[in-house]
Every structure is written in structure tokens, then in C-alpha cells.
Amino acid sequence: MIPSYNTGPLLEKTVRGALAVWQDVFVIVDGSTDGSADDLEKVAAGPDQRLRVHRLPENQGKGSAVLKGLELALEEGFTHALAMDADGQHPADYIAHYMAAGEKYPEALVLGQPVFDASAPALRVNGRKVSNWWANFVTGWWGIKDSLFGMRLYPLVPLKKAFASTLFARRFDFDPEVVIRMCWRGTPLLNLPTPVKYLTEEEGGVSQFRYLRDNTLLTWMYFRLLIGAIIRSPFLFVRILKGGNPLKGIKL
């Protein structure tokens, strides 16, 4: 499942990489205005029906795009979906690793744990540590290694319930909030170390991240979720006493 907003030629490259290693690919075009999905629609309309392209009429945010992809996947009878970004950061050759983990642990949410190289901006690498600390704090240290990395395998029914429990998590706050809400519901969690590459402008790299806007959104999100954690504190405490995440300690 690949949500995309104005990612240019990288979208087709990402999609073709995914199709080379996996049978079914959903692309949710989140109100893009750059024509990046036009050629993909021609591929989807051809004899090979492995690719589905769905357009949202206007930009609604990453969470909304994933929610639409979730609904489409459930309609077709799928039980799990691997989400990956359209901007070329996530390696297609790791798709099989995520799917294998999902087959072995079908009840689990499999989170990507980014392995950064020299291309990663230090501000982004260090800044996410704050989000990761808060994500673990409000879940009773459930075992979240990275709350922001977009490559992750979702069991779809627990993800749908996480969406149903909030009117938020529709934009940049999607990645950390749904993970936290799934942990609150007791979803087992695994972390899969995954290499990530930040592409330069010369390589066609694009980013929709806006430092002030998105960090303000995350700050508001954690304030809301801290209140939610306080309300749920008796249940979190019981889960901590029981050992928390039942798959904690398993390495992929």
C-alpha cells in the first residue's frame, strides 16, 4: 500500500520496484497535482491487474490515504497490508522480509526500525528520538523502536479499530498515533531493522515534511495521547505487570 502526494517520477520507480517482488500493490494518490500517477493508471488498466490506483479528489493527508487503502484492501478480502512511502526511501527488497514476519506472527504489527546511512539529516535522526520516547512512555514501554518510520506491516482489522477510535491520525500524525492506539488495544509488536536512504534533490528526492507545521501537530498529538494514557493508566499498569507486549524480545 503506497500513499503518494506529488512525489514525481519517484512514484513510478517505487511502484515498479514493489511490483517486481510482490503480487498486489495499491497506490492511493492523495490529491496529487503533478501528474505522477498518470502512467500508473495506464498500467493498472492493462491486462496485469496486480496494480490498483485510487485517486482522492484533493489532498487529505497520509493517514486519510492509508485509511482509504485499508478500506479497499478489506473489500478485496486482504488481512494485512504493508505500507511504504512513495519517495524512494524504503527498500523494495525488504518487502519479502515483512511479509515473512507477518506469516509467522499474523497477530503482530511489524514496525520498521530505520537503519540510517550518511544521507540522513542529523536533525531528522535526532529529532525522532523525542517522538520515540513519548510513544513508549504513553504505551507503558510496549517496545516501539521507531514511531515515525513509514514502512510497516499492519494487520488490517486492528488498524481499522485504531482509526475508528479517533478523529485524528489523518495527516502527519498518522504514523505514531495509530501505533500507540494499536498498542493500547494490546496488539503485539515486532521491530524489523530496515535500511533507509534520503535521496538528494539531484536524485529526485522530495519531502512533504514541514518542520514547524508537523512538529506542532506532533506536539498536540502527544498532549492528547498523554491524557488518553492517564485515563487508561489502570489498564496499562495491568499489561505492564503481565509483561506488556507478548512478542517483546523477539528479533527479526
pLDDT digits (tens, 9 = 90+) for 186-199: 999 999 999 999 88
- The helix, strand and coil proportions of the chain, stated in percent and rounded to the nearest 5, come to 45, 15, 40
Instruction: Judge whether 78 lies within some domain.
Output: yes
- Identity (one letter) of the amino acid at 137? F
Q: What is the pLDDT of residues 31-58, one digit of tens each?
A: 999 999 998 988 887 776 789 999 999 9
Question: Where residue 170 falls among pLDDT bands split at 50, 70, 90?
Answer: very high
Instruction: Judge whether 134 lies within some domain.
Output: yes
Q: What is the pLDDT of residues 105-143, one digit of tens each?
A: 999 999 999 999 988 888 888 889 999 999 999 999 999
Instruction: Judge whether 173 lies within some domain.
Output: yes
Which residue range forms the structural domain that includes residue 181?
2-241
> Average pLDDT in the 51-80 region?
97
Chain-wide mean pLDDT for the chain?
93
- Calpha distance 199→206 (Å, rounded): 8
Instruction: Judge whether 103 lies within some domain.
Output: yes
Instruction: Judge whether 248 lies within some domain.
Output: no
Instruction: Judge whether 237 lies within some domain.
Output: yes
Query: Three-class SS of residue 218?
Result: helix
> Average pLDDT in the 55-66 region?
96
Instruction: Judge whether 247 lies within some domain.
Output: no
122-130's contacts with Cβ under 8 Å and 24+ in sequence apart are 124/198, 124/209, 127/215
Cβ atoms 189, 111 nearer than 8 A: yes
pLDDT at 241: 80
Instruction: Judge whether 75 lies within some domain.
Output: yes
Pairing of β 109-116 and β 51-56: unpaired
**Integer angstrom CA distances of residue 166 from 62, 90, 188, 201, 217:** 15, 28, 20, 36, 15
If one counts the domains in the chain, the total is 1
Q: Can you give the CATH number for the domain in which 7 is found?
A: 3.90.550.10
Q: What is the pLDDT of residues 74-85, one digit of tens each?
A: 999 999 999 999
